[in-house]
Amino acid sequence: MVPFLSVLTILLSASPPGAQMSNPGQEEGPTSTSGQPFPWHHMRLPKTVSPLHYDLAIHPNLTTLDFSGVVRIQLEVHRDTSLVILHAKQMQISEALLLAPEGARPLRVLEYPRFHQLALLLDSPLAKGGTYQVLLGFSANLSDSFHGFYKSSYRTSSGEVRVLASTQFEATFARAAFPCFDEPAFKAKFTIQIIREPRHIAISNMPIVKTVELPGGLLEDHFDTTVKMSTYLVAYIVSDFLSVSKTTHRGVKISVYAVPEKIDQTALALDAAVTLLDFYEEYFHIPYPLPKQDLAAIPDFQSGAMENWGLSTYRETALLYDPHKSSPSDKLAVTKVIAHEYAQWFGNLVTMEWWNDLWLNEGFAKFMELISVNVTHPELQVDDVFLGKCFEAMEVDSLPSSHPVSTHVENPVQIQEMFDDVSYDKGACILNMLRDFLTPEAFEIGIIRYLKHFSYQNTVSQHLWESLSNLCSPDHLNKGDRKREEFCSARARHSTASQQWFSDDELDVQAIMDTWTLQEGFPLVTVEVRGREVRLSQERYLKTDDPSLTEGFLWQIPLTYVTSASSTVHRFLLKTKTDVLYLPQEVDWLKFNVDMSGYYMVHYAGDGWNAIIHLLQHNHTVLTSNDRASLIHDVFQLVGVGKVRLDTALDLSLYLSRETETMAVTQGFEELVPLYKLMEKRDMAALENQMKGYIVDLFRGLIDRQNWDDSGSVSERVLRSYLLLFGCVRNYPPCVEKATRLFNEWRASGGHMSLPVDVTMAVFMMGARTPEGWDFLFEKYRTSLQMSVKSRMKVAMAFSPLRDKLAWMLEQSVQGDVMKLQDLPDVVVTVSRNPRGYNLAWDFLRANWHTLIKKFDLGSNIIAYMVTGVTNRYSTTEMLDEVKRFFGSLTEETGSEMRSIQQTYETIQDNIRWMEAHLPELQAWLDKHRPRIV
C-alpha cells in the first residue's frame, strides 16, 4: 500500500477557497468549467467503480471560516475504465493524484457544477477487478446555510459570540464537504482526521484513537475507522461543547454534547438515549455495531435531528430539557426525536438503494417512535401524537399533487422534496396498519429477518415485503432462530384463533402493500348496512372538482370493525371495488377502522352517521378515544368532498361538550378552528365571531374545570395547556383575567416568579398583547437559556396584535442575531396564522424569497412549510390570483417546479369551493343551535 502523504503538507499547500462555480448553459452535451466537453451525461453516477474506503483529513479554520482537506479513496473497479466520476460541490480542487505502486501520477480534473460532478481522467485504464487509490486535495468556505460543513454560533450569557463548525450531509451535501461518491448505494468505510485548535474539541462518528501535536500549536485527532456506511451519515463537529456520559447495559458509551451553559439541560436526553438503545438492541436482536453514540445539540440546525451513525445531531429545542421549565409536551418531543434517530437499524445498517425509497428509513423511524416510546415511556402516551400524524399525512395525501410513498426522484431538489409527510408520516401509518394486519409478533419477526439478511446493504421495498412473507415456510425456518420457531409453533397450535384471520398461502404482502406504496392517495371506504348485510365500496378520497382524477385506484384494505353487538375486533380484507360482508345479527351501529389503525377514511351511508351521532350523544365512551377522534376527522373531511352535509358534521360535534379525552378534544379543535380561520382572511366578522363563540361554548365546561397548575397525568397536562391557551386566544373572560393577572405578577417580579409550566403559553400570549408586555417578553427571550421557554415566548410574541412588533420580529429573524435564523420559518408561519399579521407574513415571504431558498435550500421541507403555512387559509379567488402571480414569476432554478407550490394552489382552490358551498349552511346551523350551546 502507498503510504498516506503528509496531511499537513497538502493542507498547507492547498489553494484558498474560491467563489462558487458558475452554472453552464443548456448545451447539447455537458460542458465542464474549463470549456471542454464533460464525459458523463447523467445525474446519477456510473457504476464502473465504487469506493471501499475513505481516508479523510480536514482542517476547519473557525477564524477565517473556511476549511481545507485531503481525501484518499480506495476504489474497486467493476469495468475497465479510464474515467472516474464522483461528486464535489462549490470547492476548489488543489491536487488530484492516482496512487499506484510505481508512484503517484497526476490526474486531469474536469468539473460540471450543474450535477455537482468531477471527472478524473486517467492516461491508462483501470482494470476490472483491481483496486486503486485516488487522492484529492480540496478547500472551500464553511457554508453559511444549514447543510454541508457549515458555521454555527451562539452567544454566551456574557454576550460573547462563539463559533463552531458542524455537518449536515443528508441528502446530497457530503459532496459540499469533501469529494465523494455521494449516493446512498456507494457504501464505504471512513477513517477521519480533524485538525483543530487546542481550545476546541472534535467529535465524529467513531471514538478518537489518538491526538497528534502539529507545528503551530494545532492538534490532529485521529478517529477509528467506521463500519461500512453511506456518505450522508458521515458527521464531524469542531466546537467548545461539554458533555455528559453513561453506558448502556451492553457497554455502549452514550454522550450528550451541548454548549457549556446548557449542559445542565441534558439529563433527560442522556437517560432516554440509554433506555432507547437498550430497547432497540433487544427488539431487533442485533447489537448496536459501534462502541459509542453521541448526541449533539447544535445552536443552528435546520431540521429536528439527524441520525448520523455514532454522532446524531439535534436542534437544541429537540434535545435540551429543563425539568423545572419544560412541559410534558417538551418531554415527549425530546424522547420521541431520540427514538426516531436511534432507530438506526433502518437507514444506517440497512439503507434504501435510492432516495425514491426514503420511506424505508424515515417511515420506519417514525413508526418506531410509536413502538419504542410506548414500551420505554408509557406515561407519555405517544399514541395520541401518532394518530395526529396520520391525519396530517392524509391532509397532504388528499391533494391531486400528492405522490406515492415510493416515487421516482432524480435531482437534488426532487430528493429534498421526499422529506415530507408522505415519506415520514404516511410511511409510518401504513407500517402500523401492516403490523396490525400481520399481528405484532409476525411483524417483529419479519423485520428482524429483513435487518439481519440485508445488514450493511442497500434495499428496495420489495425486499421488505419478501421478509414479511412466508414466515413459517419450512424453506425459511433456520435452526437457531428461536423466536420465529416459537411463533410458528404457536401459530400452528392456534390456527383458528381470532387474530389469525388469513393463511400463509393466501397472504401476499407485496401485492397488498404495493397498493399503498406505488400509488398516491388513500381510500375512502363507504359502508352501507341493510339488515345483516354490509355493503362495502372503495374509491380514492381526493379534494378536487375533477372526478376523473379519482378513477383507476384500487387498494387491498385490511378493514377492522366493531359493532353494537360485539366489542371483538372483526377483520375483512377488501381487495375489490365492492364487496359484501354478513353480520351474525342485525346491529344498531358499527364502527370501521378500529382505533384508526388503518390508513383510510370511512363514510357511513344511509342512516349510518345518524346512528353514530346518537351513540356519541348518549354513550360516547363505548368507543375508544381514538375511535371518537377518527369519527370527528372523517365526518368533517367528508363534508369537503360532498359526501356528508355540514349540518351532520356539526351535529356530531355537539357531543364534544361532554368529551374529556385529549385526542378527541384536540381533533374537535382541529376540525372546527379552520372554519373560522378561513373567515379571518375575509370581511365577515359576524359569522366568524359566531363560529368562535360556538367553539368556546362547546368546550366552556371543560375549560372551567382546568386547574392553573401542573398536576395530573401527561395527557391531562397537555390538554390543560391546550384548553387554557385556546380560551385566552378566544378572549374567554375567566382565562383572560387569570392569565393577565399571572403575567402582571410575573413581570412585577422581574420574571423570577415561578409560573406553572402548563399555563405559561397562555400567560405569555396575554402578556404579548401590550407594547410593555411584549418588550418584557422579548428581553426575557433574549437572555433565557431555557430553549423550551424561549420557544413559547417566540410563539406568543409572533401572535401579538401589535403589527409593528410583528414586522420587527420578522426582520430580526432574517438577521439571525438575537433571534436565530433557524427560527425564522416558525416565526413566519405563526405570524401568518395571526389575524393581525397574515398579510405581513405573505409580503415578507415574497420580499425575502431568494434569501430563504438560499439559506434553507430549494425543495426542503422547511421551504414547503413556509409556502403552505402562509397560504393554506386563503379562500378567495383574488388571493389565489395573487399567489399564482408570485409563484408563476419564478424560474425552475428559484422554485417554480416545487410540489409545495402546486399543493398551495390546490389547497386554496379547495378552500374556495368549501366557502362557496357551505357558508349559508353554516350560518343557518349556528343560528338554529345558538340557544342549545350554553
Task: For residue 180, give the DSSP letter.
Answer: B
Model pLDDT for residues 520-538, shown as the tens digit of each residue: 999 999 999 999 999 999 9
307 and 347 Cβ atoms separated by less than 8 Å: yes
User: Between 3.40.462.20, 1.10.390.10, 3.30.110.30, 3.40.50.850, what CATH number should domain 241-479+507-520 receive?
Assistant: 1.10.390.10
Model pLDDT, residue 14: 34
- The CATH fold of domain 34-240: Immunoglobulin-like (2.60.40)
Q: How far is CA 465 from CA 355, 360, 468, 469, in A?
A: 18, 11, 5, 6
Helix (H, G, I), strand (E, B) or coil at 895: coil
First to last CA, the chain: 84
Q: How many CB atoms lie within 10 A of CB 215?
A: 7
717 and 751 Cβ atoms separated by less than 8 Å: no
Can you tell me the distance from the alpha carbon of 57 to that of 465, in angstroms, rounded to the nearest whole number? 41
| Angle, vertex CA 49, rays to CA 43 and CA 54, nearest 5 | 95
Model pLDDT, residue 858: 84
Can you tell me the distance from the alpha carbon of 207 to that of 229, in angstroms, rounded to the nearest whole number? 16
Helix (H, G, I), strand (E, B) or coil at 346: strand
836 and 805 Cβ atoms separated by less than 8 Å: no
- The CATH fold of domain 522-626: Immunoglobulin-like (2.60.40)
Can you tell me the distance from the alpha carbon of 721 to that of 327, in angstroms, rounded to the nearest whole number? 9
Can you tell me the distance from the alpha carbon of 459 to that of 453, in angstroms, rounded to the nearest whole number? 10
Model pLDDT, residue 489: 67
Phi and psi for 446 in degrees, rounded to 5?
A: -65, -40
Phi and psi for 582 in degrees, rounded to 5?
A: -120, 135
Model pLDDT, residue 6: 35
408 labeled part of a ligand binding site:
no
> What pairs with residue 293 in β-bridges?
254
Model pLDDT, residue 7: 35
**Grid coordinates representing 351?**
439503507
Model pLDDT, residue 40: 95
Nearest to 57 by CA among 195, 228, 215: 195
Model pLDDT for residues 243-273, shown as the tens digit of each residue: 999 999 999 999 999 999 999 999 999 999 9
> What pairs with residue 190 in β-bridges?
54
Find how far residue 602's CA is from the centre of its chain: 27
Residue labelled with grid coordinates 437498550: 278
Helix 714-729 vs helix 328-342: angle between axes, to the nearest 10 degrees?
120
Can you tell me the distance from the alpha carbon of 265 to that of 268, in angstroms, rounded to the nearest whole number? 7
Task: For residue 93, give the DSSP letter.
Answer: E
335 and 373 Cβ atoms separated by less than 8 Å: yes
Model pLDDT, residue 502: 54
> What pairs with residue 238 in β-bridges?
165, 202
What residue segments make up the domains of the chain, in order of their start?
Answer: 34-240, 241-479+507-520, 522-626, 702-929
| Angle, vertex CA 326, rays to CA 320 and CA 328, nearest 5 | 110
Encode 128-158 in three state secondary structure.
CCCEEEEEEEEEEECECCCCEEEEEEEECCC
| Angle, vertex CA 218, rays to CA 214 and CA 223, nearest 5 | 80
Share of the chain above pLDDT 70, in %: 93
- Which of 482-496 are b and which e, b meaning 16 or more Cβ less than 10 Å from the residue's Cβ? eebeebbeebeeeee
**Grid coordinates representing 860?**
426542503
Phi and psi for 560 in degrees, rounded to 5?
A: -130, 150
**Grid coordinates representing 248?**
448502556
**Grid coordinates representing 78?**
467493476
By annotation, the residues acting in catalysis are 341
Considering only the top CATH level, what class is 702-929? mainly alpha
Stated length of the chain: 934
Model pLDDT for residues 68-118, shown as the tens digit of each residue: 999 999 999 999 999 999 999 999 999 999 998 778 899 999 999 999 999
Nearest to 161 by CA among 788, 817, 820: 817
355 and 362 Cβ atoms separated by less than 8 Å: no
Nearest to 852 by CA among 884, 900, 791, 885: 900
Task: For residue 63, give the DSSP letter.
Answer: T
Model pLDDT, residue 831: 96
**Grid coordinates representing 252?**
455502549
Helix (H, G, I), strand (E, B) or coil at 170: coil
Report whether the peptide linkage leading into residue 176 is cis, meaning its omega lies within 30 degrees of zero.
no
Model pLDDT for residues 593-628, shown as the tens digit of each residue: 999 999 999 999 999 999 999 999 999 999 999 999
Residue 74 buriedness (CB in 10 A; 0-12 / 13-18 / 19+): middle
Task: Identify the segments of the chain with pLDDT beneath 70.
Answer: 1-28, 474-485, 489-506, 931-934
Helix (H, G, I), strand (E, B) or coil at 670: helix
386 and 369 Cβ atoms separated by less than 8 Å: yes
715 and 662 Cβ atoms separated by less than 8 Å: yes
Model pLDDT, residue 494: 53
Helix 787-798 vs helix 760-767: angle between axes, to the nearest 10 degrees?
40
The reply to whether domains 34-240 and 522-626 share a CATH topology is: yes
Model pLDDT, residue 481: 65
Nearest to 350 by CA among 175, 187, 158: 187
CB under 8 A, 24+ apart: contacts of 431-434? 431/363, 431/364, 431/367, 432/367, 432/370, 432/386, 432/597, 433/516, 433/558, 433/597, 433/598, 433/599, 434/468, 434/509, 434/512, 434/513, 434/558
Can you tell me the distance from the alpha carbon of 591 to that of 868, in angstroms, rounded to the nearest whole number? 33
Residue labelled with grid coordinates 420465529: 484
Q: How far is CA 429 from CA 346, 421, 499, in A?
A: 16, 11, 20
340 labeled part of a ligand binding site:
yes
Task: For residue 569, give the DSSP letter.
Answer: E
Can you tell me the distance from the alpha carbon of 389 to that of 410, in angstroms, rounded to the nearest whole number? 27
Model pLDDT for residues 397-419, shown as the tens digit of each residue: 999 999 999 999 888 888 998 98
Helices (H), 590-713: 608-619, 625-640, 646-653, 662-680, 685-704
Nearest to 830 by CA among 768, 889, 887: 768
Nearest to 716 by CA among 379, 333, 320, 387: 379
Q: What is the DSSP string of 778-841?
A: HHHHHH---HHHHHHHHHHHHT-S-HHHHHHHHHHHHHTSSS-GGGHHHHHHHHHHSTTTHHHH
Task: For residue 423, give the DSSP letter.
Answer: I
Model pLDDT, residue 341: 96
Please tell me the pTM assigned to this model.
Answer: 0.92
Can you tell me the distance from the alpha carbon of 207 to that of 221, in angstroms, rounded to the nearest whole number? 10
Can you tell me the distance from the alpha carbon of 873 to that of 910, in angstroms, rounded to the nearest whole number? 10
Residue labelled with grid coordinates 382565562: 735
Encode 279-297 in three state secondary structure.
HHHHHHCCCCCCCEEEEEE
